[in-house]
Every structure is written in C-alpha cells, then in structure tokens.
A and B are shown apart, each in its own frame.
Chain A
Amino acid sequence: MGIRFVLLVNKQGQTRLAQYYEYLTLEERRALEGEIVRKCLTRTEQQCSFVEHRNYKVVYRRYASLFFLVGVDNEENELAVLEFIHLFVETMDRHFGNVAHFMLEEMVMNGCVVETSKSNILAPIQLMDKAA
C-alpha cells in the first residue's frame, strides 16, 4: 500500500488528525505517532522533508504551525507525496472546516491517491453540507 497513514500534528507535537490505511491497535498508533513526531519536529527548515523510519518513510511538510506527515512505502515517489500534501492543504484552504477526514476519504482510498481535482474532492462535501 502506497500511503500508510496521514497525520496532522501541531508544533507542540499534539496530533490533530490521524488517518490510518492499515489496521494498528491504539497502542501501536500512539507509539508510532510519538516516534515519528519526535523525529520530524526536531528537524530544521534547511533539512529535507524525507525521514526514513523503520521499514517505511515519512514525507512531511510544515504549513504555519501545522505539520503534515504522510507515511509511505519505501518505493513511493517522495515528490509526488509532497505534491499530494500540498494538494490537501490547498483544498482545505478553499473549504475550511471540520471536514478533513471527509476530504481525505475523497482523495485516498486503500493508500492510493484516487482524486486529484480540488473541485471533485469538494463537490460531495459541499453536497453533504447542503443536505445537513
């Protein structure tokens, strides 16, 4: 599976959003988040956005005070994942609200990026808002 998880973490290291594409127990998730956050948040702007961790790698990017961390397979294309993060952020920008999970669901299934058009991602979410 290409993408294993998506994490949003604030500067203090608190998880703000966690979406996993493989099943991990709550303890495993907590341990993983702790290790990765420690590893990524200590890095500086001059360092690259890729961190190898265990048998996968983490591609991360910082936007304001929020870190976007995406865990991917070793063979995954790092730059494409960075682009994916950017896409995600831009989409959130366009429609900010408490809908990050839903957007991710539109974009990623099974760890594969399935939707790369911003309006396509937002259409069902806006539809849902109207319905509610």
Chain B
Amino acid sequence: MAGSSSGPSLMDSLFQRTLDDLIKSLRSATAISGADSPSLVLSRAVDDIRREIRASDQTTKAIALQKLTYICALHGVDISWAAFHPLELLPSPIFLHKKLGYLAASLSFSPSTSVLPLATHQLRKDLSSPCDPAAALALEFLSSPAASADLARDLCVELSSLLSSTRPRIRVKSTAASLRFFTLYPDSVRVAFKRLVENLECADQRVVSAAVGVFCELSAVDPKSYLPLAPEFYRILVDCRNNWILIKVLKIFSRLAPLEPRLAKRIVDPVCDHLRQSSAKSLVFECIRTVFTSLDGFDDAVKLGVEKLGEFLASEDDPNLRYLGLKGLSMLQPIHLWAVEESREIVVKSLGDPDSNIQREALHLIVRMVSDANLIEISTILLNYALKSDPEFANEILGEILSACCRNFYELVVDFDWYVSLLGDMSRHPHCTKGEDIEHHLVDIGLRVKDARPELVRVARDLLIDPALLGNPFICRILSAAAWVSGEYVELSRNPVELVEALLQPRVSLLPVSARAVYIQSVFKVLIFCLHSYLEQDGAGPLVTRDPVGGSQMSESSDAVMFEISSNCSFDSRIGLEGKDNASNVQRAHTSNDSAETKGFLTYDSLKHILDLIEMSLNPLVECSEVELQERARNILGFISALQKVQGSDFDEEGFRRDPRNCKLITVMADAFLEDLGPVSANAQGRVLVPDGVSLRDDLSDLDGILEGERLEEPSSAPVFFKRSDQLSEAQEEDLPSLTESKSLLAEHRRQHEVYYLPKESSEAEKEGYPRANEAPSSVGHGHIAEGSIQDLIKLTKESLGPRRTKPRPVVVKLDEGESVPTASSLKSVEPRDDPLSGVVREVLLQDGDEPTTSRRISSGNPSRRRSKGTMIPRSTGESAPHSDENLGDLQKGGRHHRSHSHRRQGRDGAQSRPETEDRGEEGKVSHKGSHRSNHPRRHRRKEEAEGPLNVIQQAPPGQDLLL
C-alpha cells in the first residue's frame, strides 16, 4: 500500500471505509485504552482521511470529506487543515458531492477562514442556478455562521433578486438568509429591504413566515425603526391563522407597542381574540406575554391574561405549564401585583415542587410579594425553609431575602433590630455563603441607622464570642464586620471585658489576615474605651476640668452622639440639646443608662486583666510576618508600654487614676477614635473643587526624568525585614513553649465559655472539639418543605396588603439622590445588551455608524422618529394627550425589571430634547428634507436611502390609517 506521503492508491478508493463503517468502529471502540480506544480509532481514521481526501476520484474525496465532517462536528477534531477540500467539491456536477461540500464548509468554516473568498464565484453561480437545490444550498451556506461580510457584500445583489423569485422554496430561503446579509453587511439593506418588506404580503405563508422571522430578530435590536411597518404586521396579526407566524408577530408588537400608545390600543383587541380562541398553548402564552409586558395599561386584557395563566398554573400533571405559569406571573408589572397575590397559594405551594427551576421561580415571586408589613414573617419562614433545602437553593433563598431587605436603602425594613438579628441568624446558617453581602449590610446599617446600633452590637457580640464560627471560611467576613461594629460602637457594649476576650480568643488565628487585622484594631478601640470610661467613672470631675480641649472636641462633632452618651457627665445636657425626637431620645437614654451601668463594673482589676490579656495575646504577633497584624499589634503594645512608662514600676490603682499624664494620653487616644464614621456619597470626590494651580490633566511624562537620579535607591525603600529572618530559627525553637501556652489559653477560654464547647466526652476524642460550623443540623431533610411552613406562608402573604406598623421606622441616613450603592438588585437590573447583531443592525437602520456606541445609545433613547411621526399625524400629544401620556408614564414608572433603566433614560432624554424635536417635526411636515437639519444629518439621509422603498409608506403617513 502506498505510503502516506504519496497520493492515494486505487486500493484506497476500492476499500475506502464509508461513514457508516467509521461510526460503527467508533461506537464499538469502548475500551478506554489499548488498540481499540476511541482516540486511537479516531486518529487512525483521520490518517486515512488525509490520504483519501487527496484522491482525484471525486467519490473517494466526497466520502472522505463526509467522514471528516462527522469527526469535526461530533468529536471536536480540528479540521482547519482540510479547509480547501470542501471548496473542491462545491462545483461538482453530482449534487450529493456538492451538498457534502457545502455541509462541510458550513460546519467547519468561520468568517476568518482564509480560503472563504475562493467560494464567492461558485456561490454566485449556484445562487443564479435555475436548479432549486443548488441555489438553496448556497443560501443555506450564506446564512450559516461561516458566512463573512465580504461574501455578503459581493452577493447581496444576487440575494435581492432571489427575494422576489417565483420559486417558493428559493424565496423562503433567500428571505431567511437576508437577516444574515443585513447583519454582516449593513449596506445590503439598501438593495434588499424593499423586497423583504414585500414578502410580508406574499401569498405563500412560508415566505411570510420567513419574513416575519427576520423582522422579529431585527426588531429585537432596534424596534423603533420598524414602527412604519406596523400596518403590515397588523394585517398578519388579524388575518393569519398560522401559530408560528402569529407568535413572531406578537413578539414584534410587544416591542413596538411600548413606543406608540395608539398602536397598543389598536392591537389589544386582536391579541385578546387570539388569547380567547386559540387552543395552542404556545400561542396563548405568547399572547399573555405580550399583554403583560406591553399592554399592561389595559386592565381587561390583563385580567383575561391572568385568567388564562391560571390554567397553566393549575395543570398538575405538566411541569412545563406550571413553570410557564410562574414565569408569566413574574412578567406582570408592579401595578398588577394583585394577580400574583391572587395566585399566592399555588405560588407558595410551588416552593416545594420537585423541580428546582419551579422552586426558583416561586421564590422570586414570593419575594416580590413581600411588603413592609409581612417582611419579618416571610423572611423568618423562608429562612427556616432554607435550613431544610439543599445548599444551593438555600443560598438562593438567603440571597433573595438579603436583596429584598436592602432594596432602596432598606425601605421595607421597619424594625432594624429584627433585621440585624436576622443577619446574625443567617450567618449561623450551616450553608451560608453570603458572607460578603451580610458583611456589607452589617457595616452599612451601622453607618446609616443609628437606632439599630445597640442591637447591632449585641448581635456582633454573639457572633464574636462563639468559637465554633471561627473555623468557617464562609463567614470570616461577617466576623470581620462584627469585630468592626464592636470596636466602633463599643460604648453600646454591655461588657467590654468580655468583648476583648472574644476578640483575642485563641481560635482567632484561624481567620484570614484581613479579618484578624480588624480584630486587633477593634481590641485597640475597646481598650481605649475601657481606660477612658474607667478614668471618667469616678474621676469624672478632674478629667473634664483637666482636659477642656477634649471636651470641646466632643461637642463639636455633632454626629458622635453615641460617643457622647458614653461620657456620663455630658450625657444629660446632650439629650437636652438634641431633644427633637422624643421617642428616639427615650431609647437613647435607655441604652446609655445601660452602658453606664456596665461601666460601673469596670474595676481596676478588670482593666489590669484586659491589659494582661492583650499583652499575652499580641506579643507573639510582634514577630508576625504579616505586616498588617504586626503593625497593629505593635500599635497597641506601644500604647500600653507608654502607659507603663509614665507609671513607672508602681503600677497601682491610685497612681494610675491620679496621674495627669496618663489621663492626657488616654484622652488623646479616645479623641482619636471619637470621630464618627459616616457614609460617604459615591460622588463625594467629584464635588471637591480642584484648588487653583493644581493641574490634574497634565501627564506625568517628565516624572521619569525627575526620578532618574533616585531610581538606584529604589530597592532600599521596599520593606525588608532582616530582623525577622534572623530570628526565624529562634522563633521555631520557641515553638514548643508557645504551643503549650496556646493550649493553656484554650483551656482557660473553655473554662469561661463552657456553653460554646462540646461536652467533655466528645472533646476528648477530638482535640479541638468544636462542632463544625458548616455541619448541617441533624434535622435537615432534603427537598420538601414541611406542609406547616407552606401553610404559614400562604397565610402570611394573604396579610401582605394590610398596613401594620408597631413601631416607628428609624431614620436611615441617605446621601444625595445620586448615591448609588451597588446593591444586589441594582446590579441585577443593569443588564447590558450584548447582542452581537445589535451594533451592526443599528448602523443599518438608524444610520449613524460613525458615532461611538455610547452616543448611539443615547440617541436611540431619543424618540425623535416617533415624535416627527406624531406631528405628521395631527399631534399625538394634543389630541389623545391624557391617554398616551398616562400610558407612557405607567411604563416609565413600572418598567420591567431589566428595562427600567432604558425607559427612564428615554423619558429624561425625551423631555430634554422636546422643543428641538418639535421644531424638526414641523419642518418635516413641509418637506422631508427638513430633517437634514437634525442632530444627525447623516443618519437621516442614510435612512432615506436605505428605506427609500418605504417612502411610499412614509409619505402616506405610516400607520395613520391603522392608528386613527
């Protein structure tokens, strides 16, 4: 047999294996390895094909290519090396060979395939072939992903003539292919658009179907351009009986209707007719979708849609319909939330559906039903349900609760004490992976809601003190937030000593460095607070008189109310000054009394205990290789040693209290921590004026020159820790004693917080006997919600309308309107459309390809086209003004989740550009050329060219008959 280097022999042709043979051998090759392994069979087959495909015999070549195509499509073998061979088969007179050539090309080529241009000539020949199948093959290839812009450019004239072909099959295929041509080569619109529009009225339903399909895709990208075609679409909507076509037309209308209120009015009846009469669920569902998303201003239509949707929801035996029923409900605009509430029983029941997709939809809907009145109950029950769910769904539930609560600055949350303790409970959820969100909420509420701080501190304390939580990597961020809260608002803590113990407990070493750094800083804050209040609690008089500076600073920082509460002396007068809101003052007074009581227990001994504990726990960190830890530990220890230095050797109670230098030192530190951290607007930096003489825009090109001389010294400025590496071995030697030390610390901690440790027996078996925080409780059942909790939920959601407020909502600090806190919900709603088609099609149909995308997007929001049309038809805002405005308003108010942004922008833009567009509209009435003076002269000119054929429709004002 001929070697692989020479050409294929006769033997190859005679004994060539067919595709069937190949498939059989591949499927029988089951062994993982050895002579029969699939990969070996595959590589042998490819070797064979490499030889066979060079045969001069067309049949051998065709079979080889067929096998190659199979291998490429199903086994992912790269066949780019064979790119030329499909082209060899394209001109074949044998149709099967031609077909195989096209199939191989359309499956394996990409627009960047280098030999693609070589196909142009053959494609042109086939397109103009009188033989249907050949032309069809060429059209199919041109609408495959392999087609390139160059091909579309070179062949669009041929396509255009086929669009009005008398051969039905060719007309269908060319109509469908035109979409690809338009997206690849926008200018082809000029040649082919008119005929495509004509095909909407073709007698052959298949042609109409293809044309509607094309417009459905085009209108998804830029609906406004197709408003003039509304009469054609309307005719199809009313006359057509083909469900496939109707579904596509409905999709088109659901995009057009929001742009033109009168259009919505016109189509609502035919849509409802279909909704009532059709027996096809697919069409019924499409009607429901259209009504819910685009015709939501028509109550009767919505009611009908909800009624029909009930049939979907009620279909016990078809999960598809149940799923779509829930999907349909979630499409309802907020003003029609009543419909969701009506079906709440089914929705809540679906939470226990065996299908996780249905569960998920149900969850979204339940969260939508949440109001400030039922938030607490629903959240609590959902949280309980999360305990019984699998980890993935449990976290989805947690995420939904969190985003419902934080929506628009916690607008649903009335009782922040409840919410804060809910966050605490969530943190203890065995599968919780929402640490980041919870961390953010804890800190955010601390900053924004003063009244929530006491409870926040309590929750943080409970989290910090539990040693079991420290081992869970998912909640270390929550612990870090808890530590920060405890340090920042330490004056609200009932027992600062306990707090220091919790922050310094041995298992803290399990936390990541970032969290430990926060812990240490919080220890510092707590320490300063303890020292300061110890000095104040009976030496208050001398301290205040001795240090008027500190006192005045306190009263200056008006935000630091909480801190002032802590100082007994000024607390009463402070309340008097601030007495605006009685209720909150009572509460504040109450908490401050508590903290005053607590401080009563601060004795010299407990101070000494804190100091000793800090020294013992932080001393090892002085040698830590993590700079953050090392530095912060040194800060505290440095401060303590400064105190001791002042004190000298006799560190006794009396001396400590009397020494003015001590007081000075402590007060200075207390003042340093006094400044209350408030929320900062995201735009704050932008509002800072640039001082005169500072030029921010100059580039720093000369910086290199300036630094030239210093470059050599650069390495020395990097932190180098010689000392540590020297002491490394020493430290290792000390490892043993430090280990025993930590063991004794652990034992001590255990003695004090027995509650949190496992009983002795089990802890003996396991050295560090903490229950794993992530361990599921034994009661966790899989999947199904208990009947009871479903009933509870049903009951609760029933009450969701009733306003029920037990206590006044505390103030939530918000900054200016522009503040954008990236909450989960806002992130979800920003959903950029990255349809690859959009950019190109926008260029074609709005004709401003030379503008950058961003400005394009804005001008797409400028409804100038609609406006100018509106002025041609006797004043849309004049005649039917109240109605249309109302509709638009509704839309803007309650825009669908992911659309709300663009709607809002449209509204704003429209308002700004109104005078201008009105002018333009009047000019447009006189002559079309008036539009050349618009902002986008190029865009308008090109549009006229492109839609030239449409001028007929435009001059007899588009849609006028339809709309009036």
Contacts and interface: CB of A to CB of B under 8 A. Distances in A.
Interface stretch (B169-177, B603-611, B748-756, B940-948): B169-177
Contacts of A120: 169, 206
Interface string B89-127: 000001110010001000100110000000000000000
A115 B213 contact: no
Nearest to B20: A98
Interface size class of A (residues with CB under 8 A): 35 or more
B206 A75 contact: no
A131 B96 contact: yes
A79 B282 contact: yes
Contact of B217 (A2, A83, A127): A2
A16 B358 contact: no
A47 B76 contact: no
B172 A114 contact: yes
Nearest to A30: B76
B320 A49 contact: yes
Interface in A1-34: 1-2, 15-24, 26, 29-30
A46 B354 contact: yes
B323 A109 contact: no
A80 B250 CA distance: 13
Interface stretch (B139-147, B450-458, B849-857): B139-147
B145 A80 contact: no
Contact of A23 (B111, B247, B285, B322): B111
A52 interface: yes
Nearest to B175: A114
Contacts of B176: 109-110, 112, 114
Interface string B276-291: 0000111001100100
B73 A112 contact: no
Contacts of A64: none
A110 B357 contact: no
A36 to B, nearest CB: 14
Interface in B270-307: 280-282, 285-286, 289
A128 B98 CA distance: 11
A110 B99 contact: no
A112 to B, nearest CB: 4
B285 A112 contact: no
B180 interface: yes
B282 A77 contact: yes
B78 interface: yes
A110 B179 contact: yes
A114 B107 CA distance: 19
Interface residues of B, number: 62
A41 interface: no
A44 interface: yes
A5 to B, nearest CB: 10
B870 interface: no
Contact of A47 (B206, B242, B244, B357): B357
Contacts of A17: 73-74
A112 B210 contact: yes
Contact of A114 (B103, B206, B281, B356): B206
Contacts of B72: 26
Contacts of B354: 44, 46-47
A47 B355 contact: yes
Interface in B127-172: 132-133, 136, 139-140, 143-146, 169, 172
Given A113-B244, A128-B95, A77 B217 contact: no
Interface string B317-339: 00110111000000000000000
Nearest to A20: B145
A131 B143 CA distance: 25
Contact of B103 (A73, A75, A78, A101): A101
A21 B180 CA distance: 11
A4 B247 CA distance: 18
B950 interface: no
A15 B133 CA distance: 29
Given A77-B247, A113-B244, A124-B136, A50 B172 contact: no
Interface string B829-862: 0000000110000000000000000000000000
A51 interface: yes
B70 to A, nearest CB: 9
Contacts of B140: 105, 109
B216 interface: yes
A110 B244 contact: no
Nearest to B356: A47
B209 interface: yes
Contacts of B94: 131-132
A22 B242 CA distance: 27
B243 interface: yes
Nearest to A117: B206
B504 to A, nearest CB: 47
A130 to B, nearest CB: 10
Given A16-B74, A80-B244, A112 B323 contact: no
Contacts of B618: none
B220 interface: yes
Interface in B198-253: 206, 209-210, 213-214, 216-217, 220, 242-244, 247, 251
B493 to A, nearest CB: 46
Contact of B99 (A46, A48, A73, A128): A128
Nearest to B80: A26
Given A26-B76, A109-B177, A116-B244, A124 B217 contact: no
Interface string A56-97: 000000000000000001010111101100000000000000
B221 to A, nearest CB: 11
Contacts of B244: 80, 113, 116
B19 interface: yes
A51 to B, nearest CB: 7
A120 B143 CA distance: 19
A23 B763 CA distance: 60
Contact of A2 (B133, B216, B355): B216
Nearest to A21: B145
Contacts of B355: 43, 46-48
A115 B172 contact: yes
B357 A102 contact: no
A48 B210 contact: no
B78 A26 contact: yes
Contacts of B247: 77, 80
B95 A132 contact: yes
A124 B286 contact: no
A132 B93 CA distance: 11
B213 A52 contact: no
A29 B145 CA distance: 13
A47 B323 CA distance: 9
B282 A83 contact: yes
Nearest to A16: B74
B320 A79 contact: yes
B217 A112 contact: yes
Interface centre among B143, B214, B356 (most CB of A within 10 A): B143
A78 B320 contact: yes
Contacts of A48: 319-320, 322-323, 355, 357-358
B320 A131 contact: no
Contacts of B209: 113-114, 116
Given A15-B74, A128-B133, A110 B285 contact: no
B355 to A, nearest CB: 4
A79 to B, nearest CB: 4
A1 B107 CA distance: 18
A109 B320 contact: no
Contacts of B280: 79
Contacts of A1: 217, 837
A1 B840 CA distance: 14
Closest 6 CB pairs of A and B: A79-B282, A112-B213, A23-B145, A47-B355, A109-B176, A48-B319
24 contacts: A1-B217, A20-B145, A21-B144, A22-B145, A23-B110, A23-B111, A24-B145, A29-B76, A46-B354, A46-B355, A47-B356, A47-B358, A48-B319, A48-B355, A77-B289, A78-B320, A79-B281, A79-B324, A98-B20, A109-B139, A109-B173, A111-B217, A114-B210, A115-B206
